[in-house]
Structure 1
């Protein structure tokens, strides 16, 4: 008994050592982010930066050679058609008003007359197309209410109607400007033809051809300007459109009528637009990394009224997401970061009783954020996001506190 008591401290120390060894080598759970497999459609999108631009902008140039008086207008000032005075020009001395000047003024008047005829033809064509699109849209609207046509056909008719109305507005603006240019050319010719040896001090006044605002002042100070010198730019800030520069290999998949979501533009909620045209010509652009890229301009029209986006101006940067297509609303999907490739096959790690289980899956479409799962998983399964390289099948895992937030975003 005495010998046993002498060995007790050693036995106690051995038990503690064994316990420490067991504790040290006991497998500890790995903290991982988990997300649930869910049902829903996945939108295949093209995401890129773009900018707003005024649909119709006009650069006002000096109609005659003379002394430009200092402009009183500044960028942002409102202008009214037929009322707001844009600039005043004092014609040059009579010694400089020779036969060549008269001939040039006559030629500008003839060109203005021809431009008016062209604008009238375009306006008539736009009015006819707008009326045709209006009739088609009304018929499609009536059939859509009774579910007699597919939603895609109704959306196509709505898009054609919007595009025709936009083209009609542009044609009306163009016609107004052409008439304005003819009036200026005619007034300039009268000034030149009737100029006497004792010139008057009456300036040549240019009045705004449209309702809108001054976009840029190109020449503000008083100076002598030649005929055709750009002085300022005007346009209607309410009539905005989107210009999105996408890679040419993505542009081939974008069709007119595609939905565009505008995010991070500075407002409280995303805006929406529809693609009006994909320009047929690409251009070369150097990326921020110095890589030369072929890009194509995609032009889209806003769907929200101006009152919901009135803080947007010309040339503002936006982030656009163009929807190409959507998957079946009943399809399964997981975050794209959960799928990994091994020996040419696709797998995910599934959580089963807090242990890792490797599951082979068949995938469908992916937009970089979500990936469609066609087989291998079922709704509600918990899968591991961004699994580390050291994770193996059978390892014990524990959900990280951030998993609930990831589930909410998924």
Structure 2
């Protein structure tokens, strides 16, 4: 035998070693299989638990609460002059001249125009002549009555004749006074030939011209001029019956007019009709607004905004919490057992992002904001976090 064979003798594995090796390999394989099965089971259980958790919707809730500010009532209004006087003719004739045109500031007693009255002038001359005749007759009757009274003392005339002359004098004196009254009446009528401004203001209309035939109107004929006092204006608004108790004398409002976009004027309520118009269901409210700068025009349209007081008993929720379906208008609330409970509600006022609830909710209800589709009464839900429980006015 060579030396190499002596150094490297052949070694054959024993049966026992092979058995141990097989057992070790089998153990490792079994362990791998068991670990895999356990891992798979754990994952399946976790998946099932996650799936069950995901099946319960997570919702955000809000607590109904009164708003921080009251509603704003925006209504159309009409501006009118503080005082407006249409000027009619009180005598007939022809317009001789007009002295003021539209937009002219005038003072009380200032001449606006003058009427030529030829017929009235003739009547006045005749009345003056009648007065002179009546005065002469009365003077003569008076002298005659005195003479007859003097002769009565000498028993030269009868008492009947004296009484007759005295009565004639009394009658002639009454005729003179009647003639004087007629003259005074015509003088007063002649004074109306001068058309004057009744107060300080502005001429806002002139509906006549030189040479126009003027008929004494007494309110039925055409207006010759219109004089308006516009240093302050009246604002008339029809307020719905529901809001009438909130708008009382002393309340303030903000006016906006088309000719001044973005600008505001402040008015104050001075009177209310305290009666409801049966045709419209509104009550008339009168406001006054200062117009010393003559920026506002009588007769124009205005938006009138009233800031109404906060109703401490009215609760507000986000408009996104409302559900309107076949069951009507409802909100979804979360009960103490974290289950859905639907409540029917009515809207008192709509403010856009929030609504004021008239009935159906209490301050302690947890209202779901933006409720998920498909939820039903009695479904279990999860509330997202305490941080999401906000008041509706904080959300708005």
Please, what TM-score do these two structures have when normalized by structure 2? Answer: 0.49
Could you say which structure has the larger radius of gyration?
A: 2
